[in-house]
Amino acid sequence: MRIRFAGDSGDGMQLAGARFTEASAIFGNDLSTFPSYPAEIRAPADTLGGVSSYQVHIADRDILTPGDHPDVLVAMNPAALMANLGDLQATGTIIVNTDAFTERRWTKAGYTSNPLEDGTLDGYTVLPVPMEELTKKAVEETGLKGRGVLRSKNFLALGVLAWMYNRPIEPTLGWIERKFGKDPQVLAANVNAFKAGYNLGVTTEIFRHTYEVKPAHMEPGTYTNVTGNLAVAWGIVAAGVAAKLPVFYASYPITPASDILHELSKHRNFGVRTFQAEDEIAAAGAALGAAFAGHLGVTGTSGPGVALKSETISLALMTELPMLIVDVQRGGPSTGLPTKTEQSDLLMAVYGRHGESPLPVLAVGSPSDAFETTIEAARIALKYMTPVLLLSDGYIANGAEPWQVPDLDALPDISVPFQTEPNTPEGFLPYLRDPDTHSRPWAVPGTPGLEHRVGGLEKEDGTGGVKYDGENHELMVAYRERKIAGIADDIADVEVDADDGATVLVLGWGSTSSAIHAAVRMVRTGGGKVARAHLRHLNPFPRNLGEVLASYDKVLIPELNRGQLWRLLRAEYLLDGIRLSKVQGQPFKAAEIRDKIMELIAS
């Protein structure tokens, strides 16, 4: 069952959706969510630009996406109805706040007549609820006055949904108590509104049915809901523990990456230090300074911030210090679509620095994949003494799904020894390379006898002194290139999920993972044969990728950009792949990919 809450940005739709999600997780459903935010911080009320929505897909089986089309739409005002009705299933259910459908408000949303009366909603099941009137009655006894009275109407809507889907009410009531306990009036208003919505379902005849979504079968273990940003933050904490290093995280607030800083600031007990810098450049410099001092230095941002940090990332590459850069991608270029998702930073991640400057690039595939991928990115940074770019995006960052908490005692040991003694009889050479990894030693400043300098000018092989000699420069460029290319021997081969006889391979990266997997399931359910694979490592590619690509007649590459992985594969493997691009600020619908797969199979 797929439910979408939609209303003005001030209507609390994200909060209502998150609470419904939490109750469903506690009940035991599998789930996947997709919050969608307006780009304006506070757009004019009742306008399409101000609509905020939250979709949650709950099921008694393994699911992969928030769903292409909601079965139920909660529309708090005419603009929410206008913006979301096109996505609703043809025979879907609409729970509508009838109090919002005044002529002024439906005209502002773009309607020429009242959609509740003119036949617009014929074919749908419409459940009219006067939410504002009921909320006023519910909170009357609390003493709240003025505009604050209607702020609880999202809890009234949540109560209605809790009744319809037999959600346990205790988790929501407990959350309201914890969140608003310091303000007795607001606490009472929200509790009363939630109970009023629930009791409306119990007592009124307009709600004729409830729905039962049984708990899903999951492997035994401890589960929690995670968003992508939360899992990245926890992965950074775990990487510090696994590396036996203090963590230093520096960033400047930017949508949609800021939640990583918010979460990490809570974990000083794990040796995590956070720093909100005055700008993106300062954040990158502070993280690199922390890496020089022997910390796990991390900075997080989105696309515009990566552009500003690029000079410091080049400095990290030249000084060969381990540093993790998290890029939570959003629609661009420039300020672009700050609250919408996109995968358009891949080419910048691979090539977006001056000079010959290769560095490893990894991509998170889903919220539940973010923890492990973050640790892997830190492992590569530390082992190979290099900055690493970790790509996420807005869809992953804000979406949530169940995640089985791993055995933290089984975290991999990714620690690397600091250099504590001179590495030659003549003294310490800061650029004397390991014969296997080609990485240089990591010496913490202040270690007796290991005094050395770092900087952006080209290094002399071995000594690290400044040297402008052309032959030395070419040697050092080749060393840095060989080091990054050699990481391909230290990463897993790409795995292929294939039907016997499949001639079409669907290859993705990042947040396309869930939609591709769901599309492949649809194709197989219809009797089609198809293969799928997903890339975590984007530079360097896994060693067996060329062999995999050559095994199929057609390779479909869905991306939320204009074909950036498609271009990289074409350059590396002369692959005549088929690109499927989408740059609308929205993730792929599974059906969009399914239809393209079926077209390729048929041809």
Contact by Cβ (8 Å): 358, 480:
yes
User: What pLDDT does 211 receive?
Assistant: 87
The reply to whether 166 and 266 lie within a common domain is no
The reply to whether 330 and 399 lie within a common domain is yes
The model carries a pTM of 0.95
The reply to whether 43 and 74 lie within a common domain is yes
Count of positions (residues) in the chain:
603
The reply to whether 134 and 190 lie within a common domain is yes
CB atoms within 10 A of CB 435: 5
Q: Which pair of tokens denotes residue 564?
A: 């950036």
As for how many domains the chain has, the answer is: 3
Q: Is residue 336 part of a domain?
A: yes
Q: Is residue 595 part of a domain?
A: yes
The reply to whether 517 and 402 lie within a common domain is no
The reply to whether 342 and 292 lie within a common domain is yes
Q: How far apart are alpha carbons 304 and 327 in whole angstroms?
A: 9
Place of tokens 């099941």: 125
Q: Is residue 427 part of a domain?
A: no
The reply to whether 166 and 264 lie within a common domain is no
Q: Is residue 470 part of a domain?
A: no
User: What pLDDT does 376 receive?
Assistant: 98
Domain containing 501 — which CATH number?
Answer: 3.40.50.920
User: What pLDDT does 420 receive?
Assistant: 96
The reply to whether 84 and 229 lie within a common domain is no
Q: Is residue 596 part of a domain?
A: yes
The reply to whether 514 and 399 lie within a common domain is no
User: What pLDDT does 208 receive?
Assistant: 73
Q: Which pair of tokens denotes residue 247?
A: 């963590």
The reply to whether 299 and 349 lie within a common domain is yes
The reply to whether 241 and 337 lie within a common domain is yes
Phi, psi for residue 188 in degrees, rounded to 5: -65, -40
Q: Is residue 66 part of a domain?
A: yes
User: What pLDDT does 205 receive?
Assistant: 74
Q: How far apart are alpha carbons 304 and 296 in whole angstroms?
A: 23
The string of DSSP letters for 322-350 reads -EEEEEEE-B-STT-BTTS---TTHHHHH
Domain final residue pick, 375, 394, 410: 410
Domain containing 145 — which CATH number?
Answer: 3.40.920.10
Contact by Cβ (8 Å): 79, 47:
yes
User: What pLDDT does 210 receive?
Assistant: 84
Q: Is residue 488 part of a domain?
A: no
User: What pLDDT does 89 receive?
Assistant: 94
User: What pLDDT does 257 receive?
Assistant: 97
Domain final residue pick, 410, 429, 459: 410
For the chain, percent helix, then strand, then coil, each to nearest 5? 40, 20, 40
* AA letter at 544: N
Domain containing 372 — which CATH number?
Answer: 3.40.50.970
Residues of the chain with pLDDT under 50: none
- Which residue range(s) make up the domain with 46? 2-203
The reply to whether 17 and 132 lie within a common domain is yes
Domain final residue pick, 410, 427, 448: 410
- pLDDT tens track for 510-544: 999 999 999 999 999 999 999 999 999 999 999 99
Beta bridge partners of 207: none
Q: Is residue 212 part of a domain?
A: no
